Structure formats: structure tokens, C-alpha cells
Structure 1
Amino acid sequence: MTTVPSGGDPVTAVPSRWLVRRCARPSARLRLYCFPHSGGLPGEYLSWFEALADVECWGVQSPGRGSRIAETPLRDVHRMVEEFLGVFAPPQEPYAFFGHSLGALVAFETARALRDRGAPQPRFLLLSSCPPPAAPRDGRHLADLDDAGLLALTEERYGPLPADPALLALVMPLYRADLAAYETYRYRPGPPLGLPVRVVGGDQDTTGDVLAGWGRETTGPFGVSLLPGGHFYLRGRPQRRELLRITGELLHD
């Protein structure tokens, strides 16, 4: 089965509908699982990280995304984690998680759930454009806006959506559900992880002091990087190169 992400390149679905990849790299040093942002498709991240020759990239595709667009999207971060872990088994090879925005919360909570189950942990977490999980949500309830208001907000944050009304009707439920998942997320206190965590953000979107709050969530090595740009700083080519450099650094540490 194949799907076509926004970049236009085919993505091959593996037996679980939750995971997609473009190519297999059996000799890769690391399996990197990418959790997308609100309304995002995993193919966007696969096309970037596959520039690292010793990494095999997987995209996490929840209901309502990509080839699962006809399914009802999930509206709760913890339920996303539980359903994903119903089909995901950590590989024997080293693996890591990358998550952007909402995806950072899902990646973090997935790592905590695996730890609590006694499963092998990711080698590292690379988290992007997301305040620390214990930080209060902003309480704006954007997911409750009417369609016109939600469309305007989504295009302001993420860029133009499809002009075709039929296609728009398909993708808007995903944006609404993802916003609801982010806005209703509540942090559950627990022991910190024991693995490396690196957090990256755009200097027009956040501050290093805010992102430093993630350091309370691990006893392992921790670092913060600010790159030029806003919430989607990583769509700039120089910023993406730096993100790949950071990934390679984590891989070889």
C-alpha cells in the first residue's frame, strides 16, 4: 500500500497502519520514529531524516492521517499513546523518537509509557517546538472554533490548506482533533526519564528559558538549541541542516 504525503513522494505502509516508511535500511545504526505536528503528515519528516545514511526513518501515522484519512482522529494524547503501543514493539536495534509540536508530547509520553512497562527505551528523544509538558496549556480552546474560525487560524499557523472544499472537509476534522488533543493534555507527574533529551525551537516562537523546563523530565544528558524562525523554523533549509547535524551528534554520542 502507498500513500502520497504533501511532498509528493510515495510512502510505503508496513503491516501496521500506524507506521510508514519510504525505504528499508537493514544495516542502519538507528531506527528513528517521527511523530508529526497537529494536522501534519509523517512523510514531511521522513524526507528530511533520510538524508542521514545510517538512519532508517519511520513515520507515526495516527487515525485521520495519510492513508488513514477516513478514520476518526483521536482527540487525546494519552489515548494516542495507548493505541500506538498496542501495535508498536521496540526494535532490537537502537531506536529514537523525534516529535514536533503535538508530536513532541506524544513522543515523550510514549517513552514514559514504555519505561513504565519495562520495555527498552529510545536511545534519545529529539523534541521540537513544544513547551515542557508540565507547563500550563494556554486555555484558548481553539478546537471549539467554528469551521471558518478554525480554518483562518490553521492557515495563519501552518500555511494554506487545500482550496478544494471536498478535500478541505476531509482534513479539517484532523486539525480540530489534534488541537483538542494538545489543548486538553494534562501532565501526569512521574519519575524523570534516564535518557538523552535534546529540545529545539525557533527563536521567534519561544525562548531558551521556556524550553529548559524539559530538563526536569530526564536525568540523562540534556540540551536546548534555538534556531532562527518561528514554530516551523525547521522548514527553512539552513535550519533543517542544523537539525540533521544535531541528530547525527546524538546518534554518535
Structure 2
Amino acid sequence: MDKVINCFRKKPDAVARLICFPWAGGGSLPYARWGNIISSIEVYAVRLPGRESRVKEPFHQSMQQVVEEVITVLLPVLREKPFSLFGHSFGAMSCFAFAESLKKVHGIEPIHVFLSGASAPYSETRLSAPSRSSLSDEEFLHWMRTIGGTPPELLANPDAMKLFLPPLKADLHVVENYRCPRPETPFLSCPVFCFDGTQDIPHDLKAWNDMTSGDFNIQMLPGAHFYLREAANEKIILDNVTRHLETAEMDYL
């Protein structure tokens, strides 16, 4: 499991687990460090192939590959204690696909889903979005500058870009080719909470409500696409996650 899941701190007495899916091109470290911040939650950060300790492995080519690998690794431990999901951008799409497969195939459901920075995969806003993975490197870098969140010195470093661009484009290829129908009926009953940056491009957050019959909430925070990397916003998100999971854990028992 350690190859796919990065857990900085094992917490046998944690009230719940938070399984975090990376944004496009991202690794596990930004989320894994949350395990050092949230005392009551055990954080499992998903590490996809082609980055960090898996840098020599080929990238996944489809969302199905992403989901199947993570489910295969986590299925033996998912019934140990309540778990929840968090994903930003590409990670939000991965959360949806993971939760849908887990519920429909295995009958297992998270106690909460936290989604960030993305339209629902079946929304018209998402389906009409322009393709990015096929852009030239020059066009791609220009787009990355416009969405923010990547240090300018990194974007200006050709050697760093040779390492950074391939996993990013590979993940965007996966999400751009991911198709799923709008749920005719909700497949989850747990609460779903959406976060987004006020200065990011508009996302169809309300469409996420179709996945659950449970409570649904949206909170906008200041910033562009990578608003969650701002310390103040990260604190708000983690306080929100902790509060909801500690409350949900009491209901679960």
C-alpha cells in the first residue's frame, strides 16, 4: 500500500480517514502533510505513477486505471473505520469516479466528500471546456501562468519543466477523456461539500449535488485556481473537514 498511499502519521485511534486525490500533475506531499496538522484524522494521500517514488512508472491512461489501482490497494482497509474523500481539480474528478465505483461495485460509501476547484464531470460547463493536454509546451506554460499557483521561477526553468509537464499533461489527458452520465438518482447519501476560489474560472459546483441525497454545501474562498495553497484558506478547509468528520463519526457510531 505504501507505494500508492502516502501517510505521514499512522493514527490507530483516529476518528476517521481522509483519502486525498492529487490535482493534475501533483504528488502526494501537499496532502500528506495534512496528517501532521489534523490530530484526529488519519490522512491517506494518493500517489499516482510517474511522480515522486513512482517516477519511473508509466502514467495512467484512463480514469478507470486510476480508480482500479486505488480501490485495489484500499479495499482491504476501508471497513476498518469511517473514511472521507478530498480532491481538488483533477482530484475532484478522481473522487467522483472512485466514490461511484466503490458504491456501485462494492456497496461501500464515504461518510463525507469534499470537492474543490472543478465542475461536476457531467456538467455542460465541464464538457464544453477547451482541451489543454494537446497544447504545445509554450501554449501550455502560458495557460499555467494565467491560472496561477505555480512559482514563476519554476515555469522559467526548462529543466524543471521537463519533469513537471509530462505528469501534468498525462493527468489532463485522463480527465479530458473521462466521460460519465449525469446520475439519474443519487448514488451517495453522505454530505458533499464544495470549495472554490473566487478568482478562478467559473465552475458548475451546483451540479455536484446530483451525486448525493445528503446535505450539500458550497464555500467560496479568496484566490485563483490554487487558492487552497494559501495558508489562511488551507486552515479554513482543514477546520471545516475536521469539524464535519468529527461530527459524522459520532453519527457513524
Range of TM-score over shorter length: 0.7 to 0.9
Q: Give me the whole-angstrom Cα distance separating, in 2, the residues matched to 1:170 and 1:100.
A: 21
Aligned to 1:8: none
Identify the residue that residue 96 of structure 1 maps to in structure 2: 84
CA distance in 1, matches of 2:50, 2:99: 23
- 1:228 aligned to which of 222, 227, 235: 222
Q: TM-score, normalised by structure 1?
A: 0.86
Q: Helix, strand or coil for the counterpart of 1:176? A: helix
Structure 2 residue runs of 5 or longer lacking an equivalent are 248-253
Whole-Å separation in 2 of the counterparts to 1:66 and 1:60: 11
2:31 to 45, 52, 69: 45
Instruction: Measure how far apart 1:182 and its partner are.
Output: 2.1
Q: Is the 8 A contact 2:6 2:32 kept in 1?
A: no
> How many Å separate the matches in 2 of 1:77 and 1:118?
18
Distance 2:128 2:182 in 1: 19
Question: Higher relative contact order by CA 8 Å / sep ≥ 6: 1 or 2?
Answer: 2
Which stretch of the first structure deviates more once superposed, 183-192 or 233-242? 183-192
Distance, in Å, in 2 between the alignment partners of 1:230 and 1:165 is 25
Cα drift, residue 245 of structure 1: 1.7
In structure 2, the residue corresponding to 1:223 is in which secondary structure? strand
Amino acid of the structure 1 residue aligned with 2:44: W
Q: Describe the superposition over 1:32-56 as per-residue Cα deviations: whole angstroms up to 9, x where unpaired.
A: 1110101111211222353111011
| Mapped pair 1:138 → 2:128 | yes
* Percent identity between the two aligned chains: 31
Displacement of 1:164 after TM fit? 5.5
Point out the more displaced range, 86-95 or 53-62. Answer: 86-95
For residues 16 and 53 of structure 1, do their structure 2 counterparts lie closer, same or farther at Cα, with a shift above 3 Å needed?
closer
Q: Secondary structure at the match of 2:128?
A: coil
Higher helix share: 2
- Residue number among 179, 187, 204 corresponding to 2:180 in the alignment: 187
In the aligned structure 2, how far is the partner of 1:169 from the partner of 1:70?
14
Question: What is the CA–CA distance in structure 2 between the aligned matches of 1:200 and 1:129, rounded to whole Å?
Answer: 7
Q: Between 239-248 and 187-196, report the one with greater CA deviation.
A: 187-196
CA displacement at 1:147 relative to structure 2: 2.4
Distance apart, 1:244 and its partner CA: 1.2
Deviation at 1:238, TM superposition (A): 1.6
Residues in 1 aligned to 2:164 and 2:17: alpha-carbon distance in whole angstroms:
29
Alpha-carbon displacement from aligned partner over 1:209-239 (angstroms, at most 9, x marks no partner): x312211110011111111111111112221
129 and 86 in structure 1: CA distance in 2 versus 1, 3 angstrom threshold: same
Deviations 1:144-192 (A, max 9, x none): 1122322332344341336654443233210111111222221234441
The residue aligned with 1:218 is 212
* Structure 2: distance between partners of 1:189 and 1:61: 28
Matched, 1:153 2:138: no
Aligned amino acid, residue 245 of structure 2 = L
1:212 to 1:189, Cα distance in 2 relative to 1, 3 A: closer
What is the CA deviation profile of residues 100-133 of structure 1, one whole-angstrom value per residue up to 9, with x for unaligned ones? 1100110111011010123421111011111122
Contact 1:73 1:174 survives alignment (8 Å) = yes
Conserved 8 A contact 2:22-2:46: yes
Q: Which residue of 1 aligns with 2:191?
A: 196
> Can you give the 5+ residue segments of structure 1 that lack an aligned partner in the other structure?
1-14
SS at 1:88 equivalent: helix
Question: Counterparts of 1:156 and 1:64 in 2: how far apart (Å)?
Answer: 25
